[in-house]
Chains A and B, each alone.
Chain A
Amino acid sequence: MTIKDSIQIALKGLETNRSRSFLAILGIVIGITAIILMMSIGQGAESLILRQIGGLGAETIVVRPGKEPTGPTDVGETLLATSLKIKDYQALQKKSNVPGVVEITPVLLIPGSVSFEGETYRPTIIGSKADFFLEVFDVYPKVGVVFDEVDISQNASVAIIGSKVAEELFGGGEALGEQISIKGRKFRVIGVLPPKGQVVFFDLNDLVMIPYTTAQTYLLGIDYFHEIILKAESAGAVLRTVSDVETTLRESHGIENAKDDDFFVVTQQGLVEQIQVIIGALTAFLSSVVAIALVVGGIGVMNIMLVSVTERTREIGLRKALGATEKDIMMQFLFESTILTAIGGVIAVLLGATLSFLASLVLTVVVGITWSFALPINAIFLGLIVSGLVGLIFGLYPARKAAKKSPIEALRYE
């Protein structure tokens, strides 16, 4: 008796008991569908969250003045620290110092509100180099232009505003060219950004951006920066770039020992790792729930196979009388349960993929989240292998029971 014969006999057996076979695999189909959905949606969620924290991207490196905060009170100190100056910015810009950097901007955070003809609004106001953010977020003003190096060097009083800021101050009216006032100083609106989806830590729609030089000179009256943000050429270059940044700043500040640093560097990588850990833990938790579902499904298969063995006692006896060995009978029933659940696995993979795809459509079209559909290849393999294994494991006992039946008992059975 070849494997092929066993498979054919098993297929025939399943075909003969079609509706029962279908009911038997229902539990498995549901369990494996859950696995596929979980892995697919999990992957989608992970990439969504990473993209959002990303926001700025995993390549982003933020340099802040002062000691690295280790408790809540230190944060205030950081805001008051004055150690990042224009010479540091210039030193970091040099390719010879930090070769891995592609973009760099100083950042100033300006507390306060903006107003226009009696309308007042509190957006996020930052002083920076405009093209850094626009490039990182891939936006360009829908009307107007971006301020450039000339505006920066001349401390120009110009501003780029987000769509929500425009809405709040100007209603539906034209914003371009109007004078808005920040801390009593007039700024001309030279660009309005198009509406952009919410990014977790950063809302472009709620942003007012002015040249950092203007912010330093006219609004804050300081000669230092709150942050310097750099973008490394790739996530892989982040570590090396961080060390280059530290070396450059220590040299610029005349610091010899790392513990005397009057600045600190923050990257997104730690956060990314944390998020991955959280998602991993969630997945493990859900997996254990699914595992229980699969055990229940497996017991369902075992039940149906036991019923099948009892119902087919006569057939088993006949096969034995005609020369089937215990092994042949065992193989027949094992193949039946394994093929059965494997078919369930295939159905479940298709079903899970379809559901996940529909979910991504709903999230994207209805909810408005940019959700990308992902079906990890290992989810497919896992689904198929697990379903087959469930059939094999839970088919073992019924198959053994069938194999051990005595031919005369079986033939006598009415």
Chain B
Amino acid sequence: MAFLSIENVEKSYPDGTYALRGVSFSIEKGEFVAIMGPSGSGKSTLLHVLGFLDRQSKGVYRFDGKTMDDYTEEELAHVRNKKMGFVFQAFNLLPRTTTKENVELPLLYSDVKKSEHEKLVKEAILAVGLVERTNHLSSQLSGGERQRVAIARALVNDPDIIFADEPTGNLDSKSGKMIMEIIQRLHGEGRTIILITHETYTAQHAQRIIRMLDGKIESDTVVDNRHIARDSFEK
């Protein structure tokens, strides 16, 4: 059984507009999939449904064998906390809060023992190469660094899947490359990655590209010539 599968998923709003009009695909564990499409194509809505942040209007979505209806609101929060990691275009770090505290945030909502927090936070910060920024406030960091903090935060609970919504959208190309290198490395470590982007270049770092248009899948193709981001940390 696929790690994650959706069948004929629709999402409509009370005003009659449709964001998704019957979408079906499945993703295996360890896959790196990019979802592409212009603004309004429904890719963000799709990500929200996949991340248990929003509920589809029709169709079935199974994550790890279960649907959203199998969980209570509280259990959904736990699934998001333990199995999923989120990275957003706008970083969404807490203001006036240090790197360390931002990264620790998901642990506060988990059942991980307090005594282990420091070690896990350190590892996550190390993984994104921000050790020397551990005690900096988020406002003291550059855009690229903030996104790396956000990735460390997504990583800290060791999730099975990472959802990245336009993670390079607000960054210059060098920082963007750095982010893609980290994401590819996380994929290399066995994590499933779903990346939302409207840039073909960024999407080509994935193994597979699902193109969306007007709430439907336009194409679902394997990437032949994957871009491999590397050496971006060299000065």
Contact = CB atoms under 8 A, between A and B. Distances in A.
A68 interface: no
A323 B86 CA distance: 10
Interface stretch (A20-28, A111-119, A312-320): A312-320
A156 interface: no
A322 B86 contact: yes
Which applies to chain A's interface (DSSP): helix, strand, loop or mixed? Answer: helix
A284 B92 CA distance: 51
Nearest to B77: A325
Given A9-B108, A411-B88, A322 B97 contact: no
Interface string B26-41: 0000000000000000
A328 interface: yes
B105 interface: yes
Interface string B85-110: 01010001011110001000110111
B48 A408 contact: yes
Interface string A1-20: 11001000100100110000
B231 interface: no
Contacts of A325: 73-74, 77-78, 109
A283 B231 CA distance: 77
Given A12-B97, A408-B54, A323 B77 contact: yes
Which of A15, A321, A324, A411 has most chain B Cβ within 10 Å?
Answer: A321
B147 interface: no
A320 B97 CA distance: 18
Given A321-B53, A323-B77, A408-B53, A1 B96 contact: no
A44 interface: no
Contacts of A326: 73-74, 77
B62 interface: no
Given A322-B80, A323-B81, A328 B95 contact: no
B42 interface: no
Nearest to A409: B54
Given A325-B77, A408-B48, A319 B95 contact: no
B92 A314 contact: yes
Contacts of B144: none
A328 B78 CA distance: 12
A327 interface: yes
A319 B48 contact: no
Contact of B105 (A319, A327, A408): A319
Contact of A322 (B48, B73, B114, B153): B153
B106 A322 contact: yes
Interface string A306-347: 000000001100111111111110000000000000000000
Nearest to A328: B109
10 contacts: A16-B95, A314-B92, A318-B88, A320-B80, A321-B86, A322-B81, A323-B77, A323-B81, A325-B73, A325-B74
Interface of B: 48, 51, 53-54, 73-74, 77-78, 80-82, 86, 88, 92, 94-97, 101, 105-106, 108-110, 114, 153, 157
Given A320-B53, A327-B74, 13 more contacts: A2-B114, A5-B108, A12-B97, A16-B97, A318-B88, A320-B77, A321-B86, A322-B106, A323-B81, A323-B106, A325-B73, A325-B77, A411-B88
